[in-house]
Chain A
Amino acid sequence: MASNHLTGIGSESKQLATWYFAFAAIIFGAQLLFGLVAAIQYVMPGFLFEILDFSVARMLHINALVVWMVFAMFGAVYWLLPDETGIETIGIKVGKLLYWVFVAAIVIVILVYIFVQVGPADETSIWFIHEGREYIEAPRWADIGIVVVALGFVANLFMTGMTGKRSGIVTVLMADMIAFAGLYLTGMFFTDNITVDQYWWWWVIHLWVEATWEVYVGALAAYGLITMIGAHRKVVEMWLWIEVAMLFGSGILGMGHHYFWIGTPEYWWEIGALFSALEPLPLVAMFIHVLYDWGKTQGGQDATGQKLSVINNKPAFTWFVLNAFGNFLGAGIWGFFHTLPQVNLYTHGTQFTSAHGHLAFFGAYATILIGMMYIAVQGTNGIKVMKSTKSSIWAVSMIAGGVMGMTVALTVAGYVQVLVSRAQMGATWAGYFDGQSGLWFAQAMDWRLIMGVVTFTGFLFLAKDLLSIGKSQIHER
Protein backbone atom coordinates (compact mmCIF):
# COMPACT_ATOMS: atom_id res chain seq x y z
CA MET A 1 0.00 0.00 0.00
CA ALA A 2 1.34 3.42 -0.91
CA SER A 3 1.94 5.60 2.09
CA ASN A 4 -0.33 8.57 1.85
CA HIS A 5 1.50 11.51 3.30
CA LEU A 6 -0.96 13.95 1.80
CA THR A 7 -2.82 16.15 4.12
CA GLY A 8 -4.40 19.40 3.14
CA ILE A 9 -5.47 20.17 6.65
CA GLY A 10 -3.64 23.16 8.13
CA SER A 11 -1.50 23.98 5.12
CA GLU A 12 -2.12 27.46 3.71
CA SER A 13 -0.41 26.49 0.47
CA LYS A 14 -2.81 23.60 0.00
CA GLN A 15 -5.75 25.82 0.89
CA LEU A 16 -4.65 28.24 -1.84
CA ALA A 17 -4.32 25.29 -4.22
CA THR A 18 -7.97 24.41 -3.64
CA TRP A 19 -8.97 27.99 -4.49
CA TYR A 20 -7.06 27.69 -7.77
CA PHE A 21 -8.69 24.33 -8.51
CA ALA A 22 -12.17 25.68 -7.76
CA PHE A 23 -11.82 28.61 -10.16
CA ALA A 24 -10.19 26.34 -12.74
CA ALA A 25 -13.21 24.00 -12.59
CA ILE A 26 -15.62 26.92 -13.10
CA ILE A 27 -13.70 28.17 -16.15
CA PHE A 28 -13.49 24.57 -17.43
CA GLY A 29 -17.31 24.54 -17.41
CA ALA A 30 -17.38 27.88 -19.24
CA GLN A 31 -14.94 26.52 -21.82
CA LEU A 32 -17.23 23.57 -22.56
CA LEU A 33 -20.31 25.79 -22.69
CA PHE A 34 -18.83 28.14 -25.30
CA GLY A 35 -17.49 25.12 -27.18
CA LEU A 36 -21.06 23.84 -27.36
CA VAL A 37 -22.24 27.20 -28.74
CA ALA A 38 -19.55 27.05 -31.45
CA ALA A 39 -20.44 23.42 -32.24
CA ILE A 40 -24.13 24.33 -32.59
CA GLN A 41 -23.19 27.15 -34.97
CA TYR A 42 -21.50 24.66 -37.31
CA VAL A 43 -24.79 22.77 -37.51
CA MET A 44 -27.14 25.81 -37.34
CA PRO A 45 -25.21 28.81 -38.69
CA GLY A 46 -27.88 31.28 -37.59
CA PHE A 47 -27.67 30.29 -33.92
CA LEU A 48 -27.04 33.43 -31.78
CA PHE A 49 -26.13 35.34 -34.96
CA GLU A 50 -24.95 38.87 -34.11
CA ILE A 51 -25.43 38.07 -30.42
CA LEU A 52 -22.53 35.68 -29.89
CA ASP A 53 -20.99 34.98 -33.28
CA PHE A 54 -18.82 31.93 -33.97
CA SER A 55 -15.61 33.97 -33.82
CA VAL A 56 -16.50 35.19 -30.32
CA ALA A 57 -17.69 31.79 -29.06
CA ARG A 58 -14.52 30.15 -30.38
CA MET A 59 -12.35 32.87 -28.82
CA LEU A 60 -14.01 32.29 -25.44
CA HIS A 61 -13.75 28.51 -25.86
CA ILE A 62 -10.02 28.37 -26.53
CA ASN A 63 -8.99 31.18 -24.18
CA ALA A 64 -10.98 29.69 -21.32
CA LEU A 65 -9.13 26.43 -22.04
CA VAL A 66 -5.74 28.07 -21.54
CA VAL A 67 -6.88 30.04 -18.48
CA TRP A 68 -8.38 27.09 -16.59
CA MET A 69 -5.31 25.01 -17.27
CA VAL A 70 -2.94 27.73 -16.07
CA PHE A 71 -5.05 28.13 -12.90
CA ALA A 72 -5.00 24.38 -12.30
CA MET A 73 -1.25 24.23 -12.97
CA PHE A 74 -0.53 26.96 -10.43
CA GLY A 75 -2.86 25.20 -8.01
CA ALA A 76 -1.13 21.85 -8.49
CA VAL A 77 2.27 23.44 -7.71
CA TYR A 78 0.91 25.10 -4.57
CA TRP A 79 -0.49 21.70 -3.58
CA LEU A 80 2.69 19.69 -4.00
CA LEU A 81 5.19 22.26 -2.70
CA PRO A 82 4.75 21.50 1.04
CA ASP A 83 5.01 17.74 0.35
CA GLU A 84 8.12 18.07 -1.80
CA THR A 85 10.00 20.73 0.17
CA GLY A 86 8.89 19.78 3.68
CA ILE A 87 8.00 23.42 4.49
CA GLU A 88 5.05 25.73 4.05
CA THR A 89 5.18 27.77 0.83
CA ILE A 90 7.03 31.04 1.41
CA GLY A 91 5.18 34.20 0.36
CA ILE A 92 1.80 32.55 0.65
CA LYS A 93 0.08 35.83 1.64
CA VAL A 94 1.30 37.44 -1.57
CA GLY A 95 0.24 34.27 -3.40
CA LYS A 96 -3.31 34.67 -2.07
CA LEU A 97 -3.43 38.34 -3.05
CA LEU A 98 -2.18 37.52 -6.55
CA TYR A 99 -4.83 34.81 -6.84
CA TRP A 100 -7.55 37.44 -6.44
CA VAL A 101 -5.78 39.77 -8.89
CA PHE A 102 -5.70 36.90 -11.40
CA VAL A 103 -9.36 36.02 -10.85
CA ALA A 104 -10.46 39.65 -11.17
CA ALA A 105 -8.47 40.12 -14.39
CA ILE A 106 -9.92 36.97 -15.96
CA VAL A 107 -13.51 37.80 -14.97
CA ILE A 108 -13.22 41.32 -16.45
CA VAL A 109 -11.61 39.98 -19.64
CA ILE A 110 -14.36 37.36 -20.09
CA LEU A 111 -17.09 39.99 -19.57
CA VAL A 112 -15.41 42.22 -22.18
CA TYR A 113 -15.23 39.31 -24.64
CA ILE A 114 -18.92 38.56 -24.12
CA PHE A 115 -20.37 42.09 -24.05
CA VAL A 116 -17.94 44.23 -26.07
CA GLN A 117 -16.65 41.50 -28.42
CA VAL A 118 -15.02 43.72 -31.06
CA GLY A 119 -12.78 46.76 -30.69
CA PRO A 120 -12.07 49.67 -33.05
CA ALA A 121 -8.99 47.87 -34.52
CA ASP A 122 -6.46 50.35 -33.21
CA GLU A 123 -4.28 50.59 -30.10
CA THR A 124 -7.44 50.71 -27.95
CA SER A 125 -8.33 47.16 -29.06
CA ILE A 126 -4.93 45.78 -28.12
CA TRP A 127 -4.94 47.49 -24.74
CA PHE A 128 -8.55 46.94 -23.67
CA ILE A 129 -10.45 44.41 -25.85
CA HIS A 130 -8.26 41.63 -27.34
CA GLU A 131 -5.05 41.22 -29.28
CA GLY A 132 -6.14 39.02 -32.20
CA ARG A 133 -3.86 36.18 -31.10
CA GLU A 134 -5.46 32.76 -30.81
CA TYR A 135 -5.34 31.21 -27.31
CA ILE A 136 -3.74 34.30 -25.79
CA GLU A 137 -6.22 37.05 -26.66
CA ALA A 138 -5.96 38.79 -23.27
CA PRO A 139 -5.68 42.57 -23.82
CA ARG A 140 -2.42 44.18 -22.84
CA TRP A 141 -3.56 45.49 -19.44
CA ALA A 142 -4.50 41.91 -18.49
CA ASP A 143 -1.25 40.61 -20.02
CA ILE A 144 0.70 42.85 -17.65
CA GLY A 145 -1.43 41.62 -14.74
CA ILE A 146 -0.83 38.00 -15.75
CA VAL A 147 2.93 38.62 -15.92
CA VAL A 148 2.87 40.10 -12.40
CA VAL A 149 0.87 37.09 -11.12
CA ALA A 150 3.20 34.64 -12.88
CA LEU A 151 6.31 36.36 -11.51
CA GLY A 152 4.85 36.26 -7.99
CA PHE A 153 4.08 32.56 -8.44
CA VAL A 154 7.60 31.82 -9.73
CA ALA A 155 9.11 33.85 -6.85
CA ASN A 156 7.12 31.82 -4.29
CA LEU A 157 8.19 28.59 -5.98
CA PHE A 158 11.86 29.63 -5.99
CA MET A 159 11.91 30.95 -2.41
CA THR A 160 10.29 27.75 -1.17
CA GLY A 161 12.49 25.50 -3.30
CA MET A 162 15.68 27.25 -2.19
CA THR A 163 14.73 27.20 1.50
CA GLY A 164 13.22 23.73 1.87
CA LYS A 165 14.27 20.29 0.63
CA ARG A 166 14.87 20.55 -3.10
CA SER A 167 13.68 17.32 -4.67
CA GLY A 168 14.23 16.50 -8.34
CA ILE A 169 10.57 17.28 -9.00
CA VAL A 170 10.85 20.76 -7.48
CA THR A 171 14.13 21.44 -9.31
CA VAL A 172 12.53 20.56 -12.65
CA LEU A 173 9.49 22.69 -11.84
CA MET A 174 11.66 25.67 -10.88
CA ALA A 175 13.51 25.60 -14.20
CA ASP A 176 10.38 24.82 -16.17
CA MET A 177 8.24 27.57 -14.66
CA ILE A 178 10.86 30.22 -15.44
CA ALA A 179 10.58 29.24 -19.11
CA PHE A 180 6.80 28.93 -18.82
CA ALA A 181 6.44 32.50 -17.50
CA GLY A 182 9.20 34.00 -19.68
CA LEU A 183 7.79 32.63 -22.94
CA TYR A 184 4.50 34.46 -22.35
CA LEU A 185 6.35 37.73 -22.99
CA THR A 186 6.91 36.79 -26.65
CA GLY A 187 3.15 36.96 -27.21
CA MET A 188 2.78 40.46 -25.83
CA PHE A 189 4.46 42.85 -28.24
CA PHE A 190 2.82 44.11 -31.41
CA THR A 191 4.40 43.82 -34.84
CA ASP A 192 2.88 45.03 -38.10
CA ASN A 193 4.08 42.00 -40.08
CA ILE A 194 1.91 38.89 -39.84
CA THR A 195 4.84 36.51 -40.46
CA VAL A 196 6.92 38.07 -37.68
CA ASP A 197 3.87 38.15 -35.41
CA GLN A 198 3.10 34.46 -35.99
CA TYR A 199 6.77 33.59 -35.59
CA TRP A 200 6.82 34.93 -32.05
CA TRP A 201 3.28 33.83 -31.20
CA TRP A 202 4.33 30.22 -31.78
CA TRP A 203 7.06 30.73 -29.18
CA VAL A 204 4.27 30.96 -26.64
CA ILE A 205 1.86 28.36 -28.01
CA HIS A 206 4.23 25.66 -29.22
CA LEU A 207 6.93 26.10 -26.59
CA TRP A 208 4.23 25.97 -23.96
CA VAL A 209 2.28 22.94 -25.11
CA GLU A 210 5.07 20.89 -26.66
CA ALA A 211 7.91 21.80 -24.32
CA THR A 212 7.28 23.52 -20.96
CA TRP A 213 3.77 22.18 -20.34
CA GLU A 214 4.80 18.65 -21.27
CA VAL A 215 7.75 18.85 -18.88
CA TYR A 216 5.35 20.16 -16.24
CA VAL A 217 3.12 17.12 -16.86
CA GLY A 218 6.16 14.87 -16.45
CA ALA A 219 6.86 16.45 -13.05
CA LEU A 220 3.22 16.17 -12.01
CA ALA A 221 3.07 12.52 -13.11
CA ALA A 222 6.20 11.86 -11.05
CA TYR A 223 4.61 13.44 -7.96
CA GLY A 224 1.36 11.57 -8.56
CA LEU A 225 3.06 8.19 -8.91
CA ILE A 226 5.00 8.71 -5.68
CA THR A 227 1.94 9.77 -3.70
CA MET A 228 -0.66 7.46 -5.23
CA ILE A 229 1.17 4.17 -5.64
CA GLY A 230 4.28 4.69 -3.52
CA ALA A 231 6.62 4.50 -6.52
CA HIS A 232 10.31 4.73 -5.66
CA ARG A 233 11.35 8.39 -5.76
CA LYS A 234 14.80 7.82 -7.26
CA VAL A 235 13.36 5.71 -10.06
CA VAL A 236 10.56 8.16 -10.80
CA GLU A 237 12.92 11.13 -10.78
CA MET A 238 15.30 9.26 -13.07
CA TRP A 239 12.39 8.91 -15.48
CA LEU A 240 11.63 12.58 -15.11
CA TRP A 241 15.12 13.64 -16.15
CA ILE A 242 14.99 11.30 -19.18
CA GLU A 243 11.64 12.77 -20.18
CA VAL A 244 12.85 16.34 -19.71
CA ALA A 245 15.84 15.69 -21.96
CA MET A 246 13.70 14.02 -24.63
CA LEU A 247 10.88 16.57 -24.48
CA PHE A 248 13.14 19.58 -24.78
CA GLY A 249 15.43 17.77 -27.23
CA SER A 250 12.60 17.12 -29.69
CA GLY A 251 10.05 19.75 -28.69
CA ILE A 252 12.00 22.99 -28.98
CA LEU A 253 13.00 22.61 -32.63
CA GLY A 254 9.80 20.68 -33.31
CA MET A 255 8.41 24.21 -33.53
CA GLY A 256 9.55 24.00 -37.15
CA HIS A 257 6.30 22.25 -38.05
CA HIS A 258 4.44 25.51 -37.39
CA TYR A 259 6.85 27.44 -39.62
CA PHE A 260 6.14 25.52 -42.83
CA TRP A 261 3.70 27.96 -44.43
CA ILE A 262 3.83 31.30 -42.62
CA GLY A 263 6.59 32.92 -44.65
CA THR A 264 9.65 31.77 -42.71
CA PRO A 265 12.77 30.46 -44.53
CA GLU A 266 12.55 27.04 -46.21
CA TYR A 267 15.10 25.38 -43.94
CA TRP A 268 12.28 25.06 -41.41
CA TRP A 269 10.84 22.27 -43.59
CA GLU A 270 13.85 20.06 -42.83
CA ILE A 271 14.12 21.11 -39.19
CA GLY A 272 10.39 20.68 -38.67
CA ALA A 273 10.33 17.28 -40.37
CA LEU A 274 13.28 15.89 -38.39
CA PHE A 275 12.24 17.04 -34.93
CA SER A 276 8.55 16.41 -35.49
CA ALA A 277 9.40 12.81 -36.37
CA LEU A 278 11.20 12.55 -33.03
CA GLU A 279 8.51 14.31 -30.97
CA PRO A 280 6.41 11.18 -30.34
CA LEU A 281 9.35 9.38 -28.67
CA PRO A 282 9.07 11.13 -25.28
CA LEU A 283 5.31 10.63 -25.39
CA VAL A 284 5.87 6.90 -25.80
CA ALA A 285 8.34 7.11 -22.90
CA MET A 286 5.76 8.87 -20.71
CA PHE A 287 3.24 6.18 -21.58
CA ILE A 288 5.54 3.35 -20.45
CA HIS A 289 6.64 5.38 -17.41
CA VAL A 290 3.27 4.78 -15.72
CA LEU A 291 3.22 1.09 -16.75
CA TYR A 292 6.76 0.55 -15.49
CA ASP A 293 6.25 2.17 -12.10
CA TRP A 294 2.87 0.57 -11.49
CA GLY A 295 4.25 -2.86 -12.56
CA LYS A 296 7.28 -2.56 -10.29
CA THR A 297 5.32 -1.29 -7.29
CA GLN A 298 2.40 -3.70 -7.62
CA GLY A 299 4.88 -6.54 -8.32
CA GLY A 300 6.77 -5.71 -5.12
CA GLN A 301 3.48 -5.68 -3.19
CA ASP A 302 2.36 -9.03 -4.67
CA ALA A 303 5.75 -10.57 -3.85
CA THR A 304 5.00 -10.06 -0.14
CA GLY A 305 1.96 -12.32 -0.56
CA GLN A 306 -0.56 -9.48 -0.05
CA LYS A 307 -2.98 -9.06 -2.92
CA LEU A 308 -3.88 -5.47 -2.12
CA SER A 309 -3.91 -2.73 -4.73
CA VAL A 310 -1.09 -0.24 -4.27
CA ILE A 311 -3.30 2.62 -5.49
CA ASN A 312 -4.56 4.90 -2.72
CA ASN A 313 -6.66 7.20 -4.91
CA LYS A 314 -8.60 5.31 -7.58
CA PRO A 315 -10.28 8.27 -9.35
CA ALA A 316 -7.05 10.28 -9.52
CA PHE A 317 -5.05 7.28 -10.74
CA THR A 318 -7.68 6.65 -13.43
CA TRP A 319 -7.19 10.20 -14.71
CA PHE A 320 -3.39 9.85 -14.54
CA VAL A 321 -3.53 6.64 -16.60
CA LEU A 322 -5.85 8.41 -19.05
CA ASN A 323 -3.21 11.12 -19.24
CA ALA A 324 -0.57 8.62 -20.35
CA PHE A 325 -2.91 7.20 -23.00
CA GLY A 326 -4.39 10.55 -23.99
CA ASN A 327 -1.04 12.23 -24.41
CA PHE A 328 0.15 9.36 -26.56
CA LEU A 329 -3.04 9.38 -28.65
CA GLY A 330 -3.79 13.10 -28.91
CA ALA A 331 -0.35 14.64 -29.07
CA GLY A 332 1.38 11.54 -30.45
CA ILE A 333 -0.81 9.79 -33.01
CA TRP A 334 -3.08 12.68 -34.01
CA GLY A 335 -0.06 14.99 -34.15
CA PHE A 336 2.25 12.69 -36.04
CA PHE A 337 -0.07 11.83 -38.89
CA HIS A 338 -0.11 15.39 -40.22
CA THR A 339 3.19 16.77 -39.03
CA LEU A 340 5.48 16.15 -42.02
CA PRO A 341 5.46 19.02 -44.53
CA GLN A 342 4.60 16.77 -47.49
CA VAL A 343 1.23 15.89 -45.97
CA ASN A 344 0.75 19.01 -43.84
CA LEU A 345 0.48 20.97 -47.09
CA TYR A 346 -2.93 19.30 -47.49
CA THR A 347 -4.07 19.07 -43.87
CA HIS A 348 -3.00 22.48 -42.56
CA GLY A 349 -5.96 24.47 -41.28
CA THR A 350 -8.51 21.72 -41.84
CA GLN A 351 -10.53 20.00 -39.12
CA PHE A 352 -7.56 17.63 -38.72
CA THR A 353 -5.90 20.40 -36.77
CA SER A 354 -9.01 20.77 -34.66
CA ALA A 355 -9.16 17.01 -34.01
CA HIS A 356 -5.53 17.02 -32.89
CA GLY A 357 -6.08 20.12 -30.75
CA HIS A 358 -9.10 18.67 -28.96
CA LEU A 359 -7.56 15.31 -28.11
CA ALA A 360 -4.07 16.62 -27.38
CA PHE A 361 -5.19 19.35 -24.96
CA PHE A 362 -7.58 16.97 -23.26
CA GLY A 363 -5.27 13.94 -23.22
CA ALA A 364 -2.07 15.69 -22.28
CA TYR A 365 -3.32 18.32 -19.82
CA ALA A 366 -6.98 18.22 -18.80
CA THR A 367 -6.70 14.62 -17.60
CA ILE A 368 -3.75 15.06 -15.27
CA LEU A 369 -5.08 18.37 -13.89
CA ILE A 370 -8.43 16.75 -13.07
CA GLY A 371 -6.43 13.95 -11.42
CA MET A 372 -4.69 16.57 -9.28
CA MET A 373 -8.09 17.96 -8.25
CA TYR A 374 -9.00 14.50 -6.92
CA ILE A 375 -5.69 14.33 -5.05
CA ALA A 376 -6.58 17.69 -3.48
CA VAL A 377 -10.03 16.40 -2.47
CA GLN A 378 -8.36 13.37 -0.86
CA GLY A 379 -5.86 15.47 1.06
CA THR A 380 -8.34 18.12 2.13
CA ASN A 381 -10.68 15.49 3.57
CA GLY A 382 -7.93 13.43 5.21
CA ILE A 383 -8.83 10.26 3.28
CA LYS A 384 -6.37 7.35 3.47
CA VAL A 385 -7.65 5.33 0.51
CA MET A 386 -10.05 7.08 -1.86
CA LYS A 387 -12.36 4.97 -4.01
CA SER A 388 -14.34 5.82 -7.13
CA THR A 389 -18.02 6.64 -6.82
CA LYS A 390 -20.63 6.09 -9.54
CA SER A 391 -20.28 9.78 -10.42
CA SER A 392 -16.49 9.40 -10.77
CA ILE A 393 -17.00 6.57 -13.23
CA TRP A 394 -19.75 8.38 -15.18
CA ALA A 395 -17.62 11.53 -15.31
CA VAL A 396 -14.46 9.86 -16.59
CA SER A 397 -16.38 7.68 -19.07
CA MET A 398 -18.51 10.47 -20.52
CA ILE A 399 -15.77 13.08 -20.70
CA ALA A 400 -13.19 10.72 -22.21
CA GLY A 401 -15.76 9.09 -24.52
CA GLY A 402 -17.16 12.47 -25.55
CA VAL A 403 -13.78 13.98 -26.38
CA MET A 404 -12.73 10.83 -28.24
CA GLY A 405 -16.01 10.92 -30.20
CA MET A 406 -15.50 14.59 -31.06
CA THR A 407 -11.98 13.80 -32.23
CA VAL A 408 -13.11 11.00 -34.51
CA ALA A 409 -15.89 13.19 -35.95
CA LEU A 410 -13.46 16.05 -36.58
CA THR A 411 -10.97 13.64 -38.16
CA VAL A 412 -13.63 12.49 -40.63
CA ALA A 413 -14.46 16.14 -41.41
CA GLY A 414 -10.77 16.90 -41.88
CA TYR A 415 -10.32 13.95 -44.20
CA VAL A 416 -13.17 15.21 -46.39
CA GLN A 417 -11.58 18.65 -46.50
CA VAL A 418 -8.19 17.19 -47.46
CA LEU A 419 -9.70 15.25 -50.36
CA VAL A 420 -12.15 17.86 -51.63
CA SER A 421 -10.79 21.30 -50.69
CA ARG A 422 -7.12 20.55 -51.09
CA ALA A 423 -6.36 17.53 -53.27
CA GLN A 424 -9.20 17.90 -55.80
CA MET A 425 -9.91 21.65 -55.74
CA GLY A 426 -6.34 22.81 -55.20
CA ALA A 427 -6.94 24.88 -52.04
CA THR A 428 -9.02 27.45 -53.90
CA TRP A 429 -11.65 29.66 -52.29
CA ALA A 430 -14.38 27.67 -54.07
CA GLY A 431 -12.74 24.46 -52.84
CA TYR A 432 -12.96 25.70 -49.27
CA PHE A 433 -16.76 25.98 -49.54
CA ASP A 434 -17.10 22.74 -51.49
CA GLY A 435 -15.18 20.92 -48.78
CA GLN A 436 -17.65 22.08 -46.14
CA SER A 437 -20.84 21.50 -48.08
CA GLY A 438 -20.70 17.72 -48.44
CA LEU A 439 -22.80 15.23 -46.52
CA TRP A 440 -19.82 13.62 -44.78
CA PHE A 441 -18.63 16.96 -43.43
CA ALA A 442 -22.12 17.97 -42.29
CA GLN A 443 -22.73 14.64 -40.54
CA ALA A 444 -19.33 14.81 -38.88
CA MET A 445 -20.31 18.19 -37.45
CA ASP A 446 -23.60 16.72 -36.17
CA TRP A 447 -21.66 13.99 -34.40
CA ARG A 448 -19.20 16.49 -32.99
CA LEU A 449 -22.12 18.37 -31.43
CA ILE A 450 -23.65 15.18 -29.99
CA MET A 451 -20.30 14.21 -28.51
CA GLY A 452 -19.91 17.74 -27.15
CA VAL A 453 -23.17 17.32 -25.25
CA VAL A 454 -21.90 13.98 -23.90
CA THR A 455 -18.69 15.71 -22.74
CA PHE A 456 -20.60 18.53 -21.05
CA THR A 457 -22.87 16.02 -19.27
CA GLY A 458 -19.72 14.26 -18.08
CA PHE A 459 -18.46 17.58 -16.75
CA LEU A 460 -21.64 17.98 -14.69
CA PHE A 461 -20.97 14.55 -13.14
CA LEU A 462 -17.37 15.59 -12.51
CA ALA A 463 -18.39 18.82 -10.78
CA LYS A 464 -20.92 16.96 -8.61
CA ASP A 465 -18.31 14.32 -7.77
CA LEU A 466 -15.56 16.77 -6.84
CA LEU A 467 -18.00 18.59 -4.54
CA SER A 468 -19.38 15.47 -2.86
CA ILE A 469 -16.85 12.60 -3.04
CA GLY A 470 -14.85 13.86 -0.04
CA LYS A 471 -17.85 13.36 2.25
CA SER A 472 -18.69 9.87 0.94
CA GLN A 473 -18.56 6.95 3.39
CA ILE A 474 -16.98 4.48 0.94
CA HIS A 475 -13.39 5.53 1.57
CA GLU A 476 -10.83 4.30 4.12
CA ARG A 477 -10.02 7.12 6.49
Chain B
Amino acid sequence: MIEEVVMRQDIALGDFLTIFVSSALVLVFGGFYVGIYTAVKVNLLKNWTMFLAYSFWMLTAYCLYLMGSLMHVGEFTAKALVVAAIGLLLLPHAVYFMQHQVHEENEH
Protein backbone atom coordinates (compact mmCIF):
# COMPACT_ATOMS: atom_id res chain seq x y z
CA MET B 1 0.00 0.00 0.00
CA ILE B 2 1.38 3.41 -0.98
CA GLU B 3 1.07 6.02 1.73
CA GLU B 4 -0.13 9.47 0.84
CA VAL B 5 2.71 11.99 0.68
CA VAL B 6 2.05 15.31 2.35
CA MET B 7 2.96 18.06 -0.08
CA ARG B 8 3.37 21.57 1.16
CA GLN B 9 4.37 24.86 -0.40
CA ASP B 10 7.79 26.23 0.53
CA ILE B 11 8.06 29.64 2.14
CA ALA B 12 9.74 32.18 -0.13
CA LEU B 13 13.16 33.28 1.10
CA GLY B 14 12.17 36.94 1.10
CA ASP B 15 9.06 36.28 3.19
CA PHE B 16 10.72 35.02 6.37
CA LEU B 17 11.46 38.43 7.84
CA THR B 18 7.89 39.61 7.19
CA ILE B 19 6.55 36.43 8.79
CA PHE B 20 8.66 36.82 11.94
CA VAL B 21 7.97 40.54 12.30
CA SER B 22 4.23 40.20 11.66
CA SER B 23 3.96 37.28 14.13
CA ALA B 24 5.71 39.34 16.78
CA LEU B 25 3.47 42.31 16.01
CA VAL B 26 0.38 40.13 16.46
CA LEU B 27 1.12 40.01 20.17
CA VAL B 28 2.60 43.51 20.43
CA PHE B 29 -0.56 45.03 18.96
CA GLY B 30 -2.69 42.56 20.89
CA GLY B 31 -0.95 43.69 24.08
CA PHE B 32 -1.65 47.34 23.22
CA TYR B 33 -5.30 46.46 22.57
CA VAL B 34 -5.92 44.76 25.92
CA GLY B 35 -3.62 47.19 27.73
CA ILE B 36 -5.43 50.31 26.51
CA TYR B 37 -8.83 48.67 27.00
CA THR B 38 -7.97 47.81 30.61
CA ALA B 39 -6.37 51.19 31.30
CA VAL B 40 -9.52 52.98 30.08
CA LYS B 41 -11.72 50.75 32.21
CA VAL B 42 -9.74 51.43 35.40
CA ASN B 43 -9.65 55.18 34.59
CA LEU B 44 -5.91 55.34 33.92
CA LEU B 45 -6.67 56.63 30.39
CA LYS B 46 -9.42 58.84 29.00
CA ASN B 47 -12.46 57.24 27.31
CA TRP B 48 -11.68 58.65 23.85
CA THR B 49 -8.55 56.43 23.67
CA MET B 50 -10.77 53.34 23.41
CA PHE B 51 -10.90 53.71 19.63
CA LEU B 52 -7.09 53.28 19.65
CA ALA B 53 -7.55 49.95 21.43
CA TYR B 54 -9.84 48.66 18.67
CA SER B 55 -7.51 50.03 16.01
CA PHE B 56 -4.74 47.93 17.53
CA TRP B 57 -6.97 44.86 17.44
CA MET B 58 -7.54 45.46 13.72
CA LEU B 59 -3.79 45.68 13.21
CA THR B 60 -3.45 42.41 15.12
CA ALA B 61 -6.00 40.72 12.86
CA TYR B 62 -4.22 42.06 9.76
CA CYS B 63 -0.84 40.78 11.01
CA LEU B 64 -2.38 37.36 11.63
CA TYR B 65 -3.76 37.36 8.07
CA LEU B 66 -0.40 38.47 6.62
CA MET B 67 1.56 35.91 8.63
CA GLY B 68 -0.85 33.09 7.77
CA SER B 69 -0.95 33.85 4.05
CA LEU B 70 2.84 34.13 3.70
CA MET B 71 3.25 30.85 5.57
CA HIS B 72 0.69 29.19 3.24
CA VAL B 73 -1.27 27.82 6.19
CA GLY B 74 -3.87 25.19 5.40
CA GLU B 75 -7.61 25.55 5.80
CA PHE B 76 -7.60 24.24 9.37
CA THR B 77 -4.82 26.51 10.64
CA ALA B 78 -6.47 29.51 8.94
CA LYS B 79 -9.64 28.78 10.93
CA ALA B 80 -7.53 28.40 14.10
CA LEU B 81 -6.02 31.84 13.53
CA VAL B 82 -9.48 33.38 13.05
CA VAL B 83 -10.59 31.77 16.33
CA ALA B 84 -7.48 33.20 18.04
CA ALA B 85 -8.21 36.69 16.68
CA ILE B 86 -11.83 36.56 17.87
CA GLY B 87 -10.64 35.16 21.21
CA LEU B 88 -8.32 38.12 21.62
CA LEU B 89 -11.13 40.55 20.75
CA LEU B 90 -13.45 39.05 23.36
CA LEU B 91 -10.85 38.41 26.06
CA PRO B 92 -10.68 41.83 27.77
CA HIS B 93 -14.46 42.28 27.51
CA ALA B 94 -15.18 38.95 29.18
CA VAL B 95 -12.52 39.36 31.83
CA TYR B 96 -13.47 42.95 32.62
CA PHE B 97 -17.15 42.04 32.84
CA MET B 98 -16.41 39.31 35.37
CA GLN B 99 -13.99 41.47 37.33
CA HIS B 100 -16.44 44.34 37.41
CA GLN B 101 -19.14 42.06 38.80
CA VAL B 102 -16.80 40.91 41.58
CA HIS B 103 -15.81 44.51 42.32
CA GLU B 104 -19.46 45.59 42.49
CA GLU B 105 -20.21 42.82 44.96
CA ASN B 106 -17.15 43.57 47.10
CA GLU B 107 -16.70 47.32 46.82
CA HIS B 108 -13.93 48.37 49.17
Contacts and interface: CB of A to CB of B under 8 A. Distances in A.
Q: What does DSSP make chain A's interface, helix, strand, loop or mixed?
A: helix
Contacts of B19: 337, 343
A438 interface: no
A188 interface: no
Interface residues of A, number: 40
Contacts of A277: 77, 80-81, 83-84
A266 B35 CA distance: 37
A281 B91 contact: yes
Most buried by B among A235, A285, A292, A342: A342
Contacts, number: 127
Contacts of A423: 10-11, 13, 16
Interface of B: 6, 8, 10-11, 13, 16-17, 19-20, 23-24, 26-28, 30-31, 34-35, 38-39, 41-44, 71-73, 76-77, 80-81, 83-84, 87-88, 91-92, 95-96, 98-99, 102-103, 105-106, 108
Contacts of B20: 337-338, 415
Interface of A: 232, 234-235, 238-239, 242, 266, 270, 273-274, 277-278, 280-281, 284-285, 287-288, 291-292, 295-296, 299-300, 328, 332-333, 336-338, 340-343, 346, 415, 418-419, 423-424
B93 to A, nearest CB: 12
Given A287-B31, A295-B44, A273 B80 contact: yes
B38 A280 contact: no
Given A284-B27, A287-B31, A299-B43, A234 B102 contact: yes
A287 B27 CA distance: 12
Of all A-B residue pairs in the complex, the 6 with the closest CB atoms, nearest first, are: A295-B42, A337-B23, A274-B80, A342-B71, A277-B84, A273-B77
A419 B102 contact: no
A338 B108 CA distance: 44
Contact of A299 (B8, B10, B44, B105): B44
5 contacts: A274-B83, A281-B87, A292-B41, A336-B24, A342-B11
A238 B97 CA distance: 11
B108 A232 contact: yes
Given A274-B80, A274-B83, A299-B43, A340 B95 contact: no
B6 A281 contact: no
Nearest to A334: B24
B27 A419 contact: no
Given A288-B95, A333-B24, A340 B87 contact: no
A105 B23 CA distance: 43
Given A299-B44, A340-B71, A343-B71, A285 B77 contact: no
A64 to B, nearest CB: 30
Contacts of A281: 84, 87-88, 91
